Amino acid sequence: MSFTPDISVSVCGVNFKNPVIAASGIYGFGEDYTDLYPLSELGGISCKGTTLNPKDGNIPPRIAETPSGILNSVGLQNPGVDRFIEHYIPMLEKQDTVVIANIAGASVEDYEQTARKLDSTSVDMIELNISCPNVKQGGATWGVTCAGAQSVTKAVRAATKKPVIVKLTPNVTDITEIARAVEAEGADAVSLINTLLGMRIDIRTRRPVLHNNVGGLSGPAVFPVAVRMVWQVSNAVKIPVIGMGGIASAEDAIEMMMAGASAVQIGTAIFGDPYVPVKVCEGMKKFCFENNIEKISDIVGTVKPW
């Protein structure tokens, strides 16, 4: 019997036409891709990380290729939340896709004020980038301690009624502890993994390739780590998990969902092929049809550990 697979998913009460979200930092605000295909082909867009005030980002060089991935130290270059609200949100409202505002800050107050400004807008969800330095606590990132992650989550939860996703860093001893901590403070979902800290050195100059010395590693090289962490976190919390980290094909996305992800984000692969998100959706439909799976959501968390 012939049927059309249903690849729609729901996360925190928000309906996505498919599980594929363009990851923050890769897709900008979507404006550079509208000439290639309608953004309505995507389940959603997690917009460029936005801060309370505009940021120029780090001094170049800030991108370096690595085997099976890239290192980046862009430094959250963005026009600031007011410009995002005034210029980009009106454009995104016309795209017929879920809009996720990704926000970052150097202090709890930064996160809180940015979220408060976004609360009265049409964005569907707010994603917290807690892989940012806490300038008041010696520069350690918010996401590497339960206390730091909780403080940001609690403040943003009080500042908005919108669903709050907390994006977790993998640069910790036990990511499930951080996931449980933000869940306890009202996070509606978690997304993971953000980039792994890495470094490359130019052996001719003996200087780091990146001006910031270190940067975030993304791409296929991190995929097995991401799958492991998504599996661990999905078994540790009751809230939905959005999986990311090295996804480059429909098979990767399906694997991530079987590990426990309710939806997925695709980032670095888009640099090599901007059509990857669309191809992943097509591949998911084909997989479901060939395996007699009526709803893609039925595969979530179905891995069978030995």
Of 283, 229, 268, 284, the residue nearest 9 (C-alpha) = 284
Distance between first and last Cα of the chain: 34
Catalytic annotation present for 47: no
Give me the DSSP letters along 34-73. TTTS-GGGSSEEEPPPB-SS-B--PPSP-EEEETTEEEE-
Nearest to 170 by CA among 138, 137, 216, 126: 216
d(CA 137, CA 252): 38
Comparing CA positions, the residue from 49, 41, 50, 47 lying closest to residue 16 is 41
128 CA to centre of own chain:
9
- The answer to whether the CB of 241 falls within 8 A of the CB of 247 is no
Candidates 12, 47, 132, 288; catalytic one: 132
Residues labelled catalytic = 132
